Amino acid sequence: MTDIARLEKIAKTVRYLILKTTSAAGSGHPTSSLSAADLMCALMFSGAFRYDVNQPDHPNNDRLIFSKGHASPLLYALWVAAGKVTEQEVMTLREFDSPFEGHPTYTFRYAEAATGSLGQGLSIGLGMALNAKYIDRLPYATYVLLGDSEMAEGSQWEAIQLARHYRLDNLVGVLDVNRLGQRGETMYGHDLEAYQRRLEAFGWQTRSIDGHDMAQIVEAFRRDGAEPDRPLMIIARTLKGKGVSFLEDKDGWHGKALDEDQLAQALEELGEVDPQIRGAVSLPEDRLPERQEARAADRASYSPGDELATRKAYGRALARLYPAFPDIVALDGEVSNSTYSETFEKDYPQRFFEMFIAEQNMAGAACGLAARGKIPFVSTFAAFQSRAFDQIRMSQYSVANIKFCGSHSGVAIGQDGPSQMGLEDIAMFRTLSDSVVFYPSDAVSTEKLVEEAARHHGLVYIRTTRNTTPIIYAVDEEFRIGGCKVLKRSDGDRATIVAAGITLHEALKAQVELEREGIAARVIDLYSIKPLDVETLRAAAEETGVIITVEDHYPAGGIGEAVCGALSEDPVPVFCLAVDKMPKSGPPDKLLAFEQISKGAIVDKVKEILGEKPRSKATEPEVCTKAPEWAEHERLSDADMPCDDGRSGKL
């Protein structure tokens, strides 16, 4: 029988720790933590939560995610009460180098994922629940603490829909309805029925309770009587700042710590506290996940000269590589017949999850799957990855091992028009810490780079192309992270053309035409945009005197800027051809020409730089330079200076 009085004593001690740590830090969210203290103490120490506290990585531990990550003082205090963190340690809250950060991150070993940007925890929990039910086939449950403010986020309702669709009866949400957000009352205040009606309309089972009645809370967490195949939401009416009279249900206290006098008053109101009291956490079943042994993958088979879209090669690569990487899981946003992840789905349907047009939830679920040791490959159109950027951004703080694939990149998709053209995606993924960005140009390089992505631990973005492209590499060609390929080279090269993906083929055609006119040009396939092969780029700059980058992407944050940054200390000019006009619908070749990233535009630019034809301001593409010394180069004169119209300049 549950000792309710003991749980209440533990909750009082947890409140004491919340107040002490936030006051010592001089910042934090004590009131948001206090409102959920009873809920979380009941969960962890009543027997509902099953977790081996000495083995945080035990595969059958229940999982607990604080979607309302600003309640991190509560999370840390719970682990003091569990006997795994000392009061002295947690008093370093928010200090530099402390694992007890302002919002949970991977530095705290009991945090499942980095949270704090609201509306993401339920999606992460959904990924963990998918893993338990369909992949590892383990009985662990995933609990997610939610705030009422974040229920306004659309990503929550994406997750709520998908959780019911996948019958995740192992997913439990705990909704802390404390009425007050950062600046006042939340959308529904204390109207629990409003949340209940909406959640039940989406197929969830609900239990509405008083979030400060310990007996009610304990009863709500009992899993006996839960309906099969339906996720559960516990909707708890709470008071922000519960336990301290001058904080309880009072506006204006969000994110504010108490000063010394206020802390003394609050602790006096709490009354007698036992700082040494500890709660016991029930052990999980000692069950291990289903595992498949890795075995050698079949060899890819392609012939030079054949044509295949890199998006199709991506799907083939996933299916081919799965035996060698049996932790691969594929997620797609209802475009698998365009991204070609359907190839993987047909061979391994049990490892494929259709996430529908809900990209934010898809990225969050991938983070949850990655946290449970899987290798999620997340695919949709490159343009639509941008919808999920906040989830993608947050996944870097979880050190998540996720691979994203963006198909239908650039104006080269043609008639579908600007809404479908990924033109910002390279920039987006380049901004992420320690990310890898690949842009293959043919089927062979795609296959090899998908394999590199699977092998690498961390965030990887693979950009694929809609249209077919010729196969230019032999199947035994090697590709590595941070490499590039010099495809055309001679001792007499007078310029270097750097491209990737669709524009690489334009560059190769331009090289042939330039050669006919007696102009030797080097061509580099920059398949690894991040990290870059700086050594090869620097050698090309020194040997040819000028770099021209060509990309089917906006100038900001793309290949041109990456190359300019890499060569910022070299006195060699870098000219950037990129998409700088408003795109429109039309045939791909016309769009490439319109944006001046086609074969003809490359030829014209090389000849213009080398003084082979008069400069035409009317057709001048966007140009950048990366060092002030470039205008003194022997092949250029002041008349050749780009940036004289003020549109661009040194990077």
* Catalytic residue ranges: 359
Task: Give SS3 for 570.
Answer: coil
Classify 512 in phi/psi space as left (phi over 0), alpha (psi -120 to 50) or beta.
alpha
What's the rounded Cα separation, in Å, for the pair 469 and 518? 27
Cβ–Cβ under 8 Å, residues 123 and 361: yes
Contacts of 622 (CB under 8 A, 6+ apart): 555, 576, 577, 578, 580, 647, 648
Cβ–Cβ under 8 Å, residues 371 and 400: yes
For 164, phi and psi rounded to 5 degrees? -70, -40
C-alpha dihedral (404, 407, 412, 413), degrees to nearest 10? -150
Cβ–Cβ under 8 Å, residues 63 and 125: yes
CB count in 10 Å sphere of residue 496: 29
Counting runs of H as helices and runs of E as strands, what totals does the chain give? 23, 19
List the one residue out of 452, 454, 461 whose CA is nearest residue 480. Answer: 452
Tokens 């939610």: give the residue.
146
| R_g over Cα of the chain | 28
Cβ–Cβ under 8 Å, residues 31 and 257: no
What's the rounded Cα separation, in Å, for the pair 15 and 645? 62
Tokens 């009991």: give the residue.
110
Separation of CA 81 from chain center? 32
Contacts of 514 (CB under 8 A, 6+ apart): 520, 521, 603, 606, 607
Please, what is the Cα angle at 545 between 541 and 547, to 5 degrees? 60
The H-or-E segment that residue 575 falls in is strand 574-577
What's the rounded Cα separation, in Å, for the pair 6 and 507? 73
- Using the 8-state DSSP alphabet, how is residue 388 labeled? G
Cβ–Cβ under 8 Å, residues 272 and 212: no
What's the rounded Cα separation, in Å, for the pair 496 and 326? 41
What's the rounded Cα separation, in Å, for the pair 268 and 265? 5
Q: At 141, list the tokens.
A: 């449950």
Q: Residue 108 to residues 28, 282, 323, 401: CA-CA distances in angstroms?
A: 17, 21, 34, 18
Q: At 82, list the tokens.
A: 């569990």
Cβ–Cβ under 8 Å, residues 469 and 309: yes
Is residue 352 classed exposed, middle or buried when 0-12, 13-18 and 19+ CB atoms within 10 A define those classes?
buried
Mark 78-114 as b/e (b = at least 16 C-beta within 10 Å): bbbbbebbeeeebbbbbeeebbbbbbbbbebebbbbb
Task: Give the DSSP letter string of 200-254.
Answer: HHTT-EEEEEETT-HHHHHHHT--TTPPTT--EEEEEE--TTTT-TTTTT-TT-T
